[in-house]
Amino acid sequence: MMHDEKAESPREGGDLPLAHDPPSPQNLGKQARKRIGAHLRAMYDSVVQQPIPNRFADLIAQLDDGPVNSAAEEA
């Protein structure tokens, strides 16, 4: 088997090394945090407006009906 140098990483977990670590939330300015929050809300709102796929609705209905094979029913 060939040795792939790109697959190795000096960081734990296989992450590629970064030129610099991203700033922590405490280091972000108030305007930057507000902008990020506004963008996240806009993205979340669009997801919430989408209909629930039928397979998810079916799974939710099954969960609402309770367990299929409970110990109480078997006794």
Residue 49 and residue 55 in contact, taking contact as beta carbons nearer than 8 Å: no
The pLDDT score that the predictor gives to residue 27 is 77
Q: What is the mean pLDDT of residues 52-63?
A: 92
Q: How far is CA 4 from CA 10, 14, 15, 42, in A?
A: 14, 13, 15, 41
Q: What's the pLDDT score for residue 16?
A: 62
Q: Is 8 helix (H, G, I), strand (E, B) or coil?
A: coil
Is 70 exceeded by the pLDDT of residue 13?
no
pLDDT at position 34 over 50: yes
Is 15's pLDDT higher than 80? Answer: no
